[in-house]
Structure formats: structure tokens, C-alpha cells
Amino acid sequence: MGDEILQKVVVSWEPRIITNGVDANDYRRTVQSLARWDQWYGAWMELGRHHESLAEEALGEDRSLTAQEAYYRAALAYHFAIFCWVHNLEEYTTGHRKRVECYQKALPGFDPPGERVEIPLEETTMPGYLRRPRGIKRPPVVLFLSGLDSAKEEHHTFENHFLRRGLATLTVDGPGQGEMWFRMKMRVDFEVAARAAIDFLLSRDDVDGSRVGVCGVSLGGYLAARCAALEPRIRAVACCGSLYSPETSPILLHDAFHLQRWLHIWGAKDQEEVREKSRGATLAGIARHIRVPLLVVHGEKDNLIPPQDPYRIYEEATGPKRWVCYPEGNHVCNNIPYKYRPLVADFLAEALR
């Protein structure tokens, strides 16, 4: 089974990992050294330590930009060490902390740079990274939402498409995701995260909190659609590789590999408990409340979510809408990022202009 998991991850996630910033040579060297799934964590943690040591060496030589670039590569390596590693929480937590630590050291070197923010949400705060395009006093904002096993540190390369079009980005760990998992588990009413994010944006004078769109990938596409339906201040929504009804998804409930991560984000011990906790996590009866401009992007060769699933979001939404399904696209179309990401960024830039 371990070897089957390794094969599944290597085949399925190579486009995603490279598209989201890992050097292709690093990726291939790392996975080619593996014979079993139980070696995954150690190999990627070693890659993270390698880039972190390069960052520290550059800092010692007063080469701050080189150091920040190396910290970013380290953060990505630590992220992908644990993105599916929820069966060992001690190792998961170690990798998680290194991911966040290195990414924060990389933030000042981004172009434009990033700012870590803490957004009040009930009795805690929701962490995020805010980036603002250069030369625009109060840009509109894209609220970016992660999928099942991603976190806010994964999305730098996608953010850049929005920033080049004059849009700020606020990428958060919502309930059950990344840092927030240690503070608050996933919840059906995820729209509270969007509500808190918009309240936060409206409190700032360097962005336009009245012009906010939301974009999500995979499970985040479902979350984005839900937020757009139930938070009236959202002005547009883009769903990439999304689900329609996570509470009944065969891939989440009956595939052992995905079920483990589904249990993790909800803080559930078994399938029965996660069914109870996630009851109501569906767009049935909700998608019709999406009245703002909607873009649904999918890949016909998505082996996790069949196109007919997110097509229901498009079909039921009642505002201006567009459906794009690429014949060659895989899950989230990460094998053709040069097609779908500019499309999404152009759509949101036009909707929020």
C-alpha cells in the first residue's frame, strides 16, 4: 500500500508542486530517490533544510535577497513534506512550523512584498498574507482560499497573476487549514472566514475593502462558492477544480488516502464522526444565491472530481456566469497553468474594476 500511495502522489501532484513554485530539478531529484511512501516526509524535509542552509549562508554574507529566495524554496519544501502527512502529527507539526517560519522570512523579498496579518475571528485570529500591487493606492482585493491539503504558503505563484493586474491578494488559512487547524477546525459555515476577512479589509486605508472577489482551488473552490453565496459583500467568485457537495463526495469518504485528510481538517476520529461534523457542507440549495459574476474552471481529465460535479455550481448560480472546461486539464488544471490562471485573473480584474 505504501508504494501505491507513493505512485499516486508522484503521478497526481507533480504538475501542482512544480506549478506552485518548486524547482522541477528539485522535484525530480527528490522523488526519484524514493522507493516507499514512508520516505516522502524525510526526503522533502531534507530538501527544506538544504535551502534553509543556503539562506543562512547568504544572510551571513549580507545577501538578503538571495537569502529570502532560498527561504521561500525551503518553505515550499517543508509544505510539500507534510501536505499529505497527517497520519503522524508530531512530524506534521514540525514541518508546519518550519513552513511558516521560512515563509515569513521570505515575505520581504517578494515583488511586491508580503505582510503577515492576523484577522479577528470569534475568540481567535485567522492568519493571512496581504500583498498589494505597486503604484495603486487602494486596489481591489482577491481573497484566496486553499484546498483540502494546501495552506496559504502554497499560493505565491498564483497571487502574482492578480498582482500584475492591479489586484491585491489576501491569502488566508481558514478554519481547518494550515495554522488555523491548531486554533479552529473546519466548519460548515466557512463563510464566517470571508466575513471576517472583509471586515478586516474595510478597516484598512491601503486597500479597497468594498471591492473584494474570492478565488479558491479544489475544496477551496467549493468554499469560495459558498462564501460568494452567503456573504453579500463579495463582488465576484472564481472556482477552480471545485466540488459541489463535500459531505457526500465519494473521493473524500471512500478513498482511504483522501479520507484521512478529510478527517484531519474536521478533527474527526472516523467516517461516522466526519459525516456528522460535515453535514450541510454542500451547495445544494445554496448555489442559487450566487448572484455575482461567477467563473467555474475545470479539467476534463480531473481524476479526483468529475466535471459534472462543479458544473452544478454553474448551472444553479443565478448571476452572470461562465463555465470553462479544458479537455486536457487535470485536477485544478495545474498541467496548463498558463491557460487557466490568466483567465481567472483577467476575470476577477474585470469584475472588480
CATH number for the domain whose boundaries are 111-352 = 3.40.50.1820
Q: Does the pLDDT value for residue 317 go beyond 70?
A: yes
pLDDT tens across 262-286, in order?
Answer: 999 999 999 999 999 999 999 999 9
**Mean of per-residue pLDDT scores for the chain:** 97
Q: Does the pLDDT value for residue 248 go beyond 90?
A: yes
- pLDDT band for 193, please (50, 70, 90 cuts): very high
Question: Domain limits of the chain?
Answer: 2-104, 111-352
Q: Give the containing element (helix H, strand E) for 229.
A: helix 219-230
Short-list 154, 110, 152, CA closest to 127: 152
Q: Could you tell me where the beta strands, DSSP code E, fall in the chain?
A: 114-121, 124-131, 141-145, 168-172, 212-217, 234-240, 294-299, 321-326
- Region 22-50: what's the mean pLDDT? 96
**For the purposes of burial, counting CB atoms within 10 Å of the CB of 279, is it exposed (0-12), middle (13-18) or buried (19 or more)?**
exposed
pLDDT tens across 149-172, in order?
Answer: 999 999 999 999 999 999 999 999
User: What sign does the CA torsion over 103, 109, 114, 117 have?
Assistant: positive
pLDDT for the residue 88 = 97
- pLDDT band for 4, please (50, 70, 90 cuts): confident
pLDDT tens across 206-245, in order?
Answer: 999 999 999 999 999 999 999 999 999 999 999 999 999 9
DSSP state for residue 279 in the 8-state scheme: T
What the block records as the C-alpha cell of 265 is: 481538517
DSSP per-residue string spanning 148-196: SS--GGG-HHHHHHHHTTT-EEEEE--TTSGGGGGT----S-THHHHHH
What is the distance between the alpha carbons of residues 28 and 213, in angstroms, rounded to a whole number? 36
pLDDT for the residue 1 = 42
pTM for the structure as a whole: 0.97
pLDDT for the residue 2 = 54
- Region 33-44: what's the mean pLDDT? 95
Q: Does the pLDDT value for residue 178 go beyond 50?
A: yes
**CATH H superfamily, domain 2-104:** acylaminoacyl peptidase (1.20.1440.110)
pLDDT for the residue 10 = 85
Q: Does the pLDDT value for residue 351 go beyond 70?
A: yes
pLDDT for the residue 5 = 86
pLDDT tens across 276-312, in order?
Answer: 999 999 999 999 999 999 999 999 999 999 999 999 9
pLDDT for the residue 110 = 98
